Amino acid sequence: MDFNLSTGMKAKVEINVELKDTAVSFGSGGVKVLATPMMIGIMENAALKAVDFNLPEGYATVGTHLEVKHLAATPIGMKAYAEAELIKIEGKKLLFNVTAYDEKEKIGEGTHARYIISVDKFIEKTNEKLHK
């Protein structure tokens, strides 16, 4: 199946850092700065947005691998954003470069892999876990 994707596809996701986005709220640290899980979440969301709109009805992508460095802290009240660029396509496997920034500097970088799935088949297989 042709998924109408090509390397170079990009997307950007921006947030205003709030208390709910901090390490304290996530339980991933004791400081009120942008949590690493939240930074990763916006990186994944950027990757998803770079490609999912191009997929046929009934298909989506799921995250399968992350290799990310969190380079700098971002305080509450500052904007943060993530960018993703599709750099490799191997059948249904997709690889992205992901970066994150706040209003002052780069705060994160790495790679993120996603996999194209049939939503119905994926949910059916996942729900089988409930019946075993």
| Residue 97 in tokens | 């470069």
Tell me: is residue 63 an annotated ligand-binding position.
yes
Residues involved in catalysis: 36, 44, 70
Task: Give 22's strand partners.
Answer: 34
Q: What is the CA 47 to chain-centroid distance, rounded?
A: 5
Q: What is the CA 75 to chain-centroid distance, rounded?
A: 21
Distance CA 98, CA 110 (A): 5
Closest CA to 1 of 49, 57, 46, 65: 57
Tell me: is residue 58 an annotated ligand-binding position.
no
Are 70 and 107 in contact by the 8 Å Cβ rule? The answer is yes
Binding residues for CoA: 63
Binding residues: 63, 114
Binding residues for substrate: 63, 114
